């Protein structure tokens, strides 16, 4: 879901409709539980989607500060991948914005000391960053478990797609997110996002 409330009435209507669908799904899951901790409101869903939207827009536009704005001031972002001996972890908006898992913009060299995700700086087969070689990021199959009016667990699949020449694209890394979002001063934000590469 990539719309922004400020983009115009068309985007607003589309986002509102999607939010209503998401709310219906979350409410149904909460109601199916033996003792649901909390049933989210439409305002909760819009705020949660706004935070996730900033993360995804920041990731795909190579805007680290926009991505980091989805997190609390003390939020953490970590990456677990089969080719890494230990998880990478970044704490706080500044560190997430400047040293997080986002790759460099198309045509730029990878930043020193950074931590781009596998495939972020190059496409399949060693293609250089850019078009082709840049990454399009997809997130789907969202699942929420509300633990209280101010805390929710979020699980979703993600997938990298590498655009190629002509009409050809290549599927890259798959994985999932394990998230905790919290409500602070009326706004839902990511307290913790774990990026798990290569497994459900």
Alpha carbons 190 and 48: distance in angstroms, whole number: 9
154-166 pLDDT tens trace: 999 999 888 877 7
Binned at pLDDT 50, 70 and 90, residue 99 comes out as confident
Total domains present in the chain: 1
User: For the chain, where are the E strands, in sequence order?
Assistant: 71-80, 88-91, 136-148, 151-163, 169-184, 187-197
- What's the mean pLDDT when you consider all of the chain? 76
Identify which has the larger pLDDT, 105 or 177: 177
CATH of the domain at 131: 3.10.450.50
Alpha carbons 134 and 120: distance in angstroms, whole number: 7
Binned at pLDDT 50, 70 and 90, residue 116 comes out as very low
Which residues form the domain of 69? 5-197
Check pLDDT > 80 for residue 66.
Answer: yes
- Alpha carbon separation from 169 to 10, 22, 138 (Å, rounded): 29, 29, 14
* Least confident piece of the model among 23-37, 38-52, 130-144, 165-179: 23-37
> Which pLDDT score, from 0 to 100, does residue 82 have?
85
> Which pLDDT score, from 0 to 100, does residue 113 have?
44
């Amino acid at each position: 879901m990539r719309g922004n409330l400020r983009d115009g009435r068309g985007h607003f209507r589309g986002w509102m409709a999607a939010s209503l669908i998401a709310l219906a799904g979350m409410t149904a899951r909460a109601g199916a539980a033996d003792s649901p901790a909390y049933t989210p409101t439409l305002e909760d869903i819009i705020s949660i989607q706004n935070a996730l939207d900033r993360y995804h827009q920041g990731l795909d536009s190579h805007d680290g500060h926009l991505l980091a704005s989805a997190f609390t001031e003390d939020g953490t972002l970590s990456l677990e991948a089969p080719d890494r001996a230990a998880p990478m972890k970044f704490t706080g908006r500044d560190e997430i914005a400047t040293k997080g898992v986002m790759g460099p913009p198309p045509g730029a060299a990878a930043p020193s000391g950074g931590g781009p995700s596998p495939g972020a700086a190059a496409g399949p087969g060693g293609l250089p960053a850019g078009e082709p070689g840049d990454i399009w990021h997809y997130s789907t199959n969202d699942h929420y478990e509300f633990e209280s009016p101010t805390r929710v667990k979020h699980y979703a699949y993600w997938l990298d797609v590498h655009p190629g020449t002509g009409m050809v694209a290549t599927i890259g890394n798959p994985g999932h997110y394990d998230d905790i979002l919290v409500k602070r001063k009326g706004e839902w934000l990511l307290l913790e996002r774990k990026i798990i590469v290569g497994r459900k």
